[in-house]
């Protein structure tokens, strides 16, 4: 079954709004795993407005399942992940001021840079994933970087789901995933996936390795509770089998 990685950035945003250590990031991460999450995702940014670099070091000692760190491969970010050695690093093209990830890499334009970063991460045994859109020409260049996976940027799918036909909404992602599969690149997905649209997405791309979900899941947990919410997201993935 496709794995569910819970992005806990929004929990850190809540903590930082008040100061102190409530909610406790480490406890939330441990509880997510205890409630059935297959991994934990964080996306530290230079201004540390949500997850802080210190949090990442602390999380390494308590995450017992898969640890995925997302971010732009700046010198500081690379030092962090080379120190922590998570299971996976997802490379995103966000500028420092971005509110959230809103586009994938232009792989052809940044191929040399990405190749060098990935080689460095592979040298210490870290699996890599590149955040990309659905442009097939762009994905066709991905194998040259030697990355292990891509993560499909799913905001366009989420925006179109229920607005146009769901078949049309998911079609570009199916095509992109099929090409990646032909190229022997494994596939993750994330951004604005939710209880409403996740089952349909994963049913149409059943070979997905992992989905990373934060904003929607944490928002749902305000109403449903964290344990129930994680169970419901896992059910979405299970129902797509």
Annotated active-site positions, please?
Answer: 43, 70, 191
For 30, other C-beta atoms within 10 Å of its C-beta total 16
Before 205, cis peptide (omega within 30)?
Answer: no
pLDDT at res. 44: 96
Taking the C-alpha atoms of residue 84 and residue 67, their distance in angstroms, rounded to an integer, is 10
DSSP 87: S
pLDDT at res. 239: 76
Global pTM reads 0.94
Question: Please, which residues have CB within 8 angstroms of residue 165's CB and are 6 or more apart in sequence?
Answer: none
pLDDT at res. 97: 61
pLDDT at res. 94: 81
pLDDT at res. 128: 98
pLDDT at res. 96: 65
Question: pLDDT 10s digit of each residue in the chain, 241 long?
Answer: 999 999 999 999 999 999 999 999 999 999 999 999 999 999 999 899 999 999 999 999 999 999 999 999 999 999 999 999 999 999 999 866 655 566 899 999 999 999 999 999 999 999 999 999 999 999 999 999 999 999 999 999 999 999 999 999 999 999 999 999 999 999 999 999 999 999 999 999 999 999 999 999 999 999 999 999 999 999 999 977 6
Q: How far is CA 233 from CA 91, 113, 169, 195, 239, in A?
A: 24, 35, 20, 6, 10
Residue with tokens 């050695």: 85
pLDDT at res. 101: 61
* Contact indicator for 100, 150 with CB cutoff of 8 Å: no
For 185, other C-beta atoms within 10 Å of its C-beta total 20
Taking the C-alpha atoms of residue 168 and residue 174, their distance in angstroms, rounded to an integer, is 10
């Amino acid at each position: 079954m496709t794995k569910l990685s819970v992005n806990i950035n929004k929990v850190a945003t809540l903590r930082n709004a008040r100061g102190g250590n409530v909610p406790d990031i480490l406890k939330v991460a441990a509880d997510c795993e205890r409630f059935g999450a297959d991994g934990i995702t964080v996306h530290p940014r230079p201004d540390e407005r949500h997850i802080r670099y210190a949090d990442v070091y602390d999380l390494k000692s308590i995450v017992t399942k898969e640890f995925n760190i997302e971010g732009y491969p700046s010198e500081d970010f690379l030092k962090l992940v080379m120190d922590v050695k998570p299971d996976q690093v997802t490379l995103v093209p966000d500028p420092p001021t971005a509110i959230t990830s809103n586009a994938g890499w232009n792989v052809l334009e940044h191929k040399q840079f990405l190749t060098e970063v990935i080689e460095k991460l592979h040298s210490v045994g870290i699996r890599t994933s590149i955040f990309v859109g659905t442009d097939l020409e762009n994905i066709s260049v991905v194998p040259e970087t030697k990355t292990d996976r891509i993560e499909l940027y799913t905001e366009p799918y989420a925006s179109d789901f229920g607005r146009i036909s769901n078949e049309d909404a998911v079609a570009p992602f199916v095509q992109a995933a099929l090409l990646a599969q032909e190229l022997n690149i494994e596939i993750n997905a994330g951004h604005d996936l939710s209880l409403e649209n996740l089952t349909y997405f994963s049913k149409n791309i059943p070979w997905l390795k992992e989905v990373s979900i934060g904003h929607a899941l944490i928002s749902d947990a305000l109403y449903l509770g964290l344990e129930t919410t994680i169970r419901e997201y896992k059910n979405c993935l299970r129902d797509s089998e």
